[in-house]
Amino acid sequence: MDDNGGAFIVPVDVRIDRRGGKMSEQTSLRAPRLWNWHRIALFLPAMGLIGFFLIIPIGVIAIYSFLVPGVYGGVVWEFTTNAYRQFLFEQDLFTDEWAFNGAYLNIYGRSIGQAAVATIACLLVGFPTAYFIATRPPENRTIWLFLVTIPYWVNLLIRTLAVLFLLRDQGPINSFLMDWGVIEKPIRLAYTNFAIGFGLVYSYLPFMVLPIYASLERFDFSLMEAGYDLYAGRWTILRKVVLPVVAPGVVAGSLLVFIPSLGSFIAPDILGGGRNLMIGNLIALQFQGSRNWPFGSAAAMILLTLVLLALFFFARRQQGGLASSHG
Amino acid sequence: MSGRESSSQKSLRRYPGFRAVALMCLFLLYVPILVVAIYSFNDIRSITTWGGFSLKWYAKAFSNPQIQSATWNSLVIAVSAATIATCVATAAAMGMTRGRRFRGQGGVFAVISIPLMIPEIVTAVASLAFFLAIGFTLGLHTILIAHTVFCIPFAYLPIAARMQGIEKAFDEAAKDLYAGRWRAFRYVLLPMMTPAIISGYMLAFIISLDDFIITSLVAGPGSTTLPLAIYGLVRVGFSPEINAISTLLLLVSMIFVSASYLVSRIGRSN
Amino acid sequence: MSEGENEIAVHIGDVVKVYGSGDSAHTALHGINLDIRHNEFFTLLGPSGCGKTTLLRMIAGFESVTEGEISLYGQNLATSPPNRRPVNTVFQQYALFPHMTVAKNVAFGLKMKGHGEAETRARVDEMLRLVQLDRFAERRPSQLSGGQQQRVALARALAPSPKLLLLDEPLSALDLKLRQAMRLELKQIQRDAGITFIFVTHDQEEALTMSDRIAVMSEGALQQVGDSRDIYEAPVNRFVADFIGETNLPEVVIERYEGDHAVCRLGDGSELHCSVSEGAAAAGERGHLSIRPERLSFTAAGEEGSIRCVIDRTIYVGTDTQYAVHLGDGSELVVRVQNEAGEELPWSAGDEVGLRLATGAARLLSD
């Protein structure tokens, strides 16, 4: 079960959750307490760096989200929940009354929708691909996996620019179609929701393929033969035998696509042409242009909450899955 | 692994169309970057027609002083961030995988993987807010700090995976043969882990070199990295120069990832 | 210090090992007492989980001692870490350093002990010649076969001239033929090197063929310590009798004791004279006998001094034939009869025959 192929390159992988199993009951060489101090000293730098420069900063924006925005960015130390209220309501400049405003909610809704569509598209392409790779002879699997993984490591900005390059009005697709007389005017592909979706799929497709592959790799294909033996058809077997077993991989893959898509910044920024905002752009904007730090912080906290909720449900699923299927 | 199966057994596992989807997947993944790479060699500015092979956009990119300084910045930051992250991650992997499990181990692992779980944009704005709150001026050093933190899990995962694969018997054998704790590490564990450490280092390097979102928020005026420079050029208008730099960065990433992968394979077969 | 034939090399006194603490505490060893003599090939034998490996690892220094003491030639080992003990180990999976050549592996302990370059090289050559691997000095462990790796591990552990060599199931990764060859080789190397060996195994045949003395362990306690013959012929209790070799363990009623013998009654009423192991039950109580199948033989039914039985099945196993029989009360026994060349099996299923015991074949066990 040692990982083969490029799976090691995947940053968040289903195998993370199995690591517990590999750590057998190990015994210390000396008295436990002394040994523990040694070990604490070993992982303290990593914990310290991440704790001080990431966990505390997140605490800082959590606090900022309850403060009043400063005029030129920054915050004024005064408690208020306005930043959160602003999501649903708009305060009238003169009367100070709050009226419902769905604009921000809309951005969140659109982001979730956009991410969900990208996830489904990745699943539709990713599952057959993973399955196809898993049924290759072992020596070929490595090459396939490697080919699927490589693009992930190419600069996200450049990959997104490449998609823009391809989809532009004067880009190769449009000029190809015009040269052949299929269309007369360029089709508007860039700066649309479609372009963003395409960009997201293109960005995160490897994240879908690898975890599904990882669970398929451990799948006992003789179970399929048992299914055929019991008179099940091809697609029935896929639904009733294969899918339940690889469900943890599918869930992991979906999450790995959905989470970064939800908070994506580059794809909507470049492929959406700055018009089709997503959560990521909304947050960045508050810290760059409009300079409403508390509102940006609140937007970030809401995004973070959504992500943690998704991870939490995933973890619950995963535990259930471990009990019912195999490790 | 099942060995040779009869073709009828194999065909039972096949689903019509899956091969086509898999090929389409590869096509989808590679066509955009290949198109960019091809057009970077186009002699004329047009992106619709092919004007012959030329390296002039590369020459132009190399002679652009902004790109030169951005490249230098990117390299300095990537080397430093990857070095610190790899050292820290190696130590953490030692602490996590050698010796018995301890209470809170899951918690330590969760902390180490936090940079992977939090959306990058949140990391970016949180870092920005924090740096300004504690009175840092933005610049290369803030980029370096943010990159180091972000790179730790990328270096940690391959190193820890390899270290878990090294049985404690090797450690015990070294100690049994009169090596103390330090010499057991120096002469046995470290050489056995070197491939994984190199692999982790290269991944951290690539992550730092490629990062755009975090960098764009925590970079001060004047401290431009390569992705920021590219973004700046795109804002002005699409030029073949961008294709040339992109192709180079693309190549660097691919070489590093392939090398990282090969090194870790060597480590495993040993 | 004179190291005479009967000098104690390793003294293990009241050693207790407890893992964990509080409610989750688990006692792996319950007060082990053992003296291992100088230059002895001593085997710890038992099923997996009996604590034999734990005991070995405590001697090596990889496990702390919860209670009791372990000393080596009179020196208490408790306070010294593994790298300060003149004890080396051959690990179960060998744990050869994959990034070093065979020669470097063998040299490792010498280097760590601070031996000079020339001295180290000479000793490595000597060791590789001892295990007949001098031609492979520059190879990597991964380029060697399992048996060769095993011998490198042995050479590496012997090179620093330890006072005691520990072997943790070193043969278990080899195939049967190689395992048998290595047994003889190991024994020979032990004699040549003149070092005390402590050998851990769950394979009783391995233990019986190589050891000067064997300690049979079960559930964290010593069951019996003795040489191969003692352990096989005179097991002290049911566990040892059952674990070592094959045996019949019929339940009997102890009629009376006659000197150092006992008279016991089998289920069908027939009486047997048997030797008695220490701690056996008192007269009038129930107990178990151990009767080795090869110590039983057949004779005509009803013959004087034989027990009447019926053959249920016969199984031909090459060197001998196994017969499953039942007595008058239905209790079952196994009999092994050596096969003679070219002879048909003299008895077959369904035959009623007489069962005869060789003298001293039956032994009354403690439970």
pLDDT digits (tens, 9 = 90+) for B22-58: 898 888 888 888 888 888 888 877 666 677 888 888 8
Domain end (from A55, A79, A100) = A100
Residues 6+ apart with CB under 8 A from A21: A327
**Per-residue pLDDT, A225:** 74
What ipTM is given for this predicted complex? Answer: 0.84
How many domains, chain A? 2
Contacts of B167 in chain C (CB under 8 A): 93, 95
| pTM of the predicted model over 0.90 | no
Encoded tokens for C208: 């019986």
Between A3 and C265, the more confident residue is C265
Least confident of A98-112, A236-250, A276-290, C242-256: A236-250
Confidence of residue A318 (pLDDT cuts 50, 70, 90): low
CB B101 within 8 A of CB A54: no
Q: What residues are paired with B52 via a beta bridge?
A: none
Helices C176-193 + C117-130 axis angle, to 10: 130
CB contact under 8 A, B170 and C95: yes
A16 falls within a domain: no
> What confidence score (pLDDT) does residue B122 get?
95
State residue B12's pLDDT score.
65
- Look at B29 and A11 and tell me if their CB atoms are within 8 Å: no
Percent of chain A with pLDDT over 70: 84
Structural domain including A54 reads 28-100
Preferred mutation among B15, B122, B183 to probe A, highest tally of A CBs within 10 A: B122
Mean pLDDT of chain C: 89
Q: Is B257 in contact with A311 (Cβ distance < 8 A)?
A: no
- Domain contains A7: no
Nearest-by-CA chain A residue for C63: A29
Which two three-digit tokens encode residue C16?
A: 């207790």
For residues A125 and A73, membership in a common domain is answered with no
- Residue A188, domain member (yes or no): yes
**Domain match, A96 and A107 both:** no
- For residue A16 the two structure tokens come to 């993370």
Distance (Å) from the alpha carbon of B164 to chain A's nearest alpha carbon = 7
DSSP letter assigned to residue C133:
-
pLDDT in tens, B58-77: 888 888 888 899 999 999 99
| Nearest CB partner across the interface for A27, out of C62, C81, C82 | C62
Residues A70 and A151 both lie in one domain: no
Q: Quick check: A14 pLDDT over 70?
A: no
| Angstroms from C59 CA to nearest CA on chain A | 13
Q: Which of A4, A8, A22 to probe by mutation at the B interface, max B CB count within 10 Å?
A: A8
Please give the Cα distance from B70 to B72 (Å, whole number). Answer: 5
Q: From the list C83, C88, C157, which residue is nearest B180 (CB)?
A: C83
With CA atoms as reference, report the closest residue to C86 among C74, C97, C76, C72.
Answer: C72
Residue of B nearest to A300 (CA): B122
Query: What token pair was written down for B46?
Result: 């047009």
pLDDT of residue C105: 94
Residues A156 and A264 grouped into a single domain: yes
Chains near B with 3+ CB pairs less than 8 A apart are A, C
C 212-251 residues with CB < 8 A to B:
none
pLDDT tens for C101-122 read 999 999 999 999 999 999 999 9
H-helix segments, chain A: 19-22, 32-50, 56-64, 82-85, 103-134, 138-149, 156-167, 172-179, 193-217, 222-229, 234-237, 243-262, 266-271, 279-288, 293-324
For residue C231, give the nearest of C250, C210, C251, C252 by alpha carbon.
C210
Q: Does B198 touch chain C (CB under 8 A)?
A: no
For B265, other C-beta atoms within 10 Å of its C-beta total: 16
A199-203, C17-21, C114-118: least confidently modelled range: C17-21
Q: Are B192 and C97 within 8 A, CB to CB?
A: yes
Cβ of residue C62 closer than 8 Å to a chain B Cβ: yes
Q: How far apart are CA B96 and CA A19, in angstroms?
A: 11
Give me chain A's average pLDDT, please: 78
Q: Looking at residue A16, what is its pLDDT?
A: 31
Q: What are the strands of the beta sheet with C8-19, ordered from one edge? A: C26-37, C8-19, C67-72, C75-76
**pLDDT band per the 50, 70, 90 thresholds, residue C305:** confident
- pLDDT at residue C157 greater than cutoff 90: yes
A200, A121: one domain: yes
d(CA B74, CA B121): 20
pLDDT score of A158:
87
Look at residue A18 in the predicted model and tell me its pLDDT.
31
* Cβ contacts of C62 on chain B, cutoff 8 Å: 172, 175-176
A23 pLDDT tier (thresholds 50, 70, 90): very low
- How far apart are the CA of A27 and the nearest CA of chain C, in angstroms? 7
Last residue of a domain, one of A100, A123, A145: A100
A153-182 pLDDT per residue, tens = 788 888 888 888 888 887 778 877 888 877
Tell me the shortest Cα–Cα distance from A34 to chain C, in angstroms.
13
Residue A288 scores a pLDDT above 50: yes
Q: How far is CA A256 from CA A13, A115, A152, A158, in A?
A: 9, 11, 13, 21
Highest mean pLDDT, choosing among A4-8, B4-8, C29-33 = C29-33
Query: Residue type for B103, please?
Result: R
Q: Does C113 touch chain B (CB under 8 A)?
A: yes
All residues of chain C having their beta carbon less than 8 Å from the beta carbon of residue B175 are 61-62, 81-83
**What stretches of chain C show up as alpha helix (H) in DSSP?**
52-60, 102-113, 117-130, 146-158, 176-193, 204-210, 228-233, 238-243
Residue A44 lies in a domain: yes
Q: How far apart are CA B150 and CA B156, in angstroms?
A: 11
Asked whether residue A11 carries a pLDDT value surpassing 50, the answer given is: no
**What SS3 class is residue B51?**
coil
Answer yes or no: is pLDDT of A28 > 50. no
Confidence of residue A325 (pLDDT cuts 50, 70, 90): very low
CB-CB under 8 Å, A172 with B47: yes
- pLDDT category at A10 given cuts 50, 70, 90 is very low
Contact between A9 and B257 using a beta-carbon 8 Å cutoff: yes
Alpha-carbon span B108 to A254, nearest angstrom: 25
Q: Do A169 and A230 share a structural domain?
A: yes
Mean pLDDT of C113-140: 92
Q: Do residues B33 and A151 make contact, with C-beta atoms less than 8 angstroms apart?
A: yes
| Residue B240 near residue B57, CB atoms below 8 Å | yes
| Chain B residues touching C160 at Cβ < 8 A | 177-178
> Which of C92, C142, C160 has the CB atom closest to B177's CB atom?
C160
Q: If DSSP states are collapsed to H, E and C, what string results for A20-74? A: HHHCCCCCCCCCHHHHHHHHHHHHHHHHHHHHHHHHHHHHHHHHHCCCEECCCCC
Contact C118, C97 (CB under 8 A): no
Chain C CB within 8 Å of residue A41 CB: no
Burial of A140 (0-12, 13-18, 19+ CB in 10 A): exposed
Residue A296 shares a structural domain with residue A148: yes
pLDDT at residue number C64: 87
Regarding whether A92 and A107 lie in a shared domain, the answer is no
Q: Please tell me the distance in Å from A263's CA to the nearest CA on chain B.
A: 6
Q: Is residue A19 part of a domain?
A: no
Contacts of A8 in chain B (CB under 8 A): 157-158, 161, 199, 261, 264
Which of B194, B198, B204, B250 minimizes the C-alpha distance to B227?
B250
| Domain assignment present for A43 | yes
The answer to whether B177 faces chain C, any CB pair under 8 Å, is yes
- Give the pLDDT score at A275: 74
Q: What is the pLDDT of residues B202-255, one digit of tens each?
A: 889 988 988 999 999 999 887 899 999 988 888 877 778 888 888 888 888 888
At residue B10, the pLDDT reads 55
Is A198 in the same domain as A164? yes
- Coil/strand/helix, residue C268: coil
- Listed as own residue / partner, the contacts of A115-120 with beta carbons closer than 8 Å and 24 or more positions apart are A115/A200, A115/A257, A115/A258, A115/A261, A115/A262, A115/A264, A116/A258, A117/A197, A118/A197, A118/A200, A118/A201, A118/A204, A118/A257, A118/A258, A118/A261, A119/A208, A119/A254, A119/A257, A119/A258, A119/A261
Binary contact (B130, A9; C-beta < 8 A): no
The residue out of A65, A83, A100 marking a domain boundary is A100
pLDDT surpassing 50 at residue C287: yes
Give residue A211's Cα distance to chain centre: 13
* Residue with more model confidence, B2 or A273: A273
Domain assignment present for residue A15? The answer is no
Contacts of residue C113 in chain B, CB cutoff 8 Å?
Answer: 178
C86 by Cβ neighbours in 10 Å (0-12 / 13-18 / 19+) ranks as middle
Residues of chain A in contact with residue B126, where contact means CB-CB under 8 angstroms, are: 54, 57-58, 60-61, 300
Mean pLDDT score of chain B? 85
Q: Which of C53, C64, C80, C89 to mutate to test the interface with A (most CBs of A within 10 A)?
A: C64
User: What residues of C are in contact with residue A30 (Cβ under 8 Å)?
Assistant: 64, 81
Give the residues across from C32 on adjacent strands. Answer: C15
- How high is the pLDDT of residue B85? 96
Closest residue on chain C to B269 (Cα): C142
CA distances from A41 to A48, B105, B110, B157, B175 (A): 11, 14, 18, 19, 21
State mean pLDDT over B135-160: 92
Interface check for B167 against chain C (CB to CB < 8 A): the answer is: yes
| CATH number for position A241 | 1.10.3720.10
Taking an 8 Å cut-off on Cβ atoms, the answer to whether A49 and B258 are in contact is no
For the cut 60, the answer to whether the pLDDT of residue A13 exceeds it is no
Does A11 map to a domain?
Answer: no
Q: Neighbouring chains of A at 3+ CB pairs within 8 Å?
A: B, C
State the DSSP code for B144. Answer: H
Tell if the CB–CB gap between C97 and B173 is shorter than 8 Å. yes
Distances (CA, A) of A176 to A173, A182, A191, C257: 5, 9, 19, 107
Q: Is the pLDDT of residue A324 over 70?
A: no
Highest mean pLDDT among A21-35, A113-127, A220-234: A113-127
For residues A75 and A118, membership in a common domain is answered with no
* Same domain as A107, residue A95: no
| Record: contact C108-B172, CB cut-off 8 A | no
| Residue C98 contacts B, CB cutoff 8 Å | yes
Pairwise CB contact (< 8 Å): B176 & C99: no
pLDDT range class, residue A26, cuts 50, 70, 90: very low
Mutate to test the interface with C, among B166, B176, B193 (most CBs of C within 10 A): B176
Q: Which of residues 230-259 of B touch A (CB under 8 A)?
A: 230-231, 234, 238, 242-243, 246, 249-250, 253-254, 256-258
Quick check: B178 contacting C, CB < 8 Å? Answer: yes
User: In this structure, what DSSP letter does residue A241 have?
Assistant: I
Residue whose C-alpha is closest to residue C275's, from C367, C213, C366, C208: C366
Contact B176 C89 (CB under 8 A): yes
Task: Looking at the complex, report in whole angstroms how far the Cα of residue A40 sits from the nearest Cα belonging to chain C.
Answer: 20
State the pLDDT at residue B128: 93
Note the pLDDT tens digit of each residue in A216-243.
887 777 777 777 777 667 777 777 778 8
Probe site for chain B from C99, C105, C123, C140 (most B CB atoms < 10 A) = C99
Q: How many whole angstroms separate alpha carbon B64 and alpha carbon A3?
A: 44
Band of pLDDT at residue A33, cut at 50, 70 and 90? very low
* Residue A246: pLDDT band with limits 50, 70, 90: confident
B176 interface with C at CB cutoff 8 Å: yes
Pair A77, A151 in one domain: no
Contacts of C62 in chain A (CB under 8 A): 27, 29
User: What pLDDT does residue B89 have?
Assistant: 95
Calculate what percentage of chain B has a pLDDT beyond 70. Answer: 91
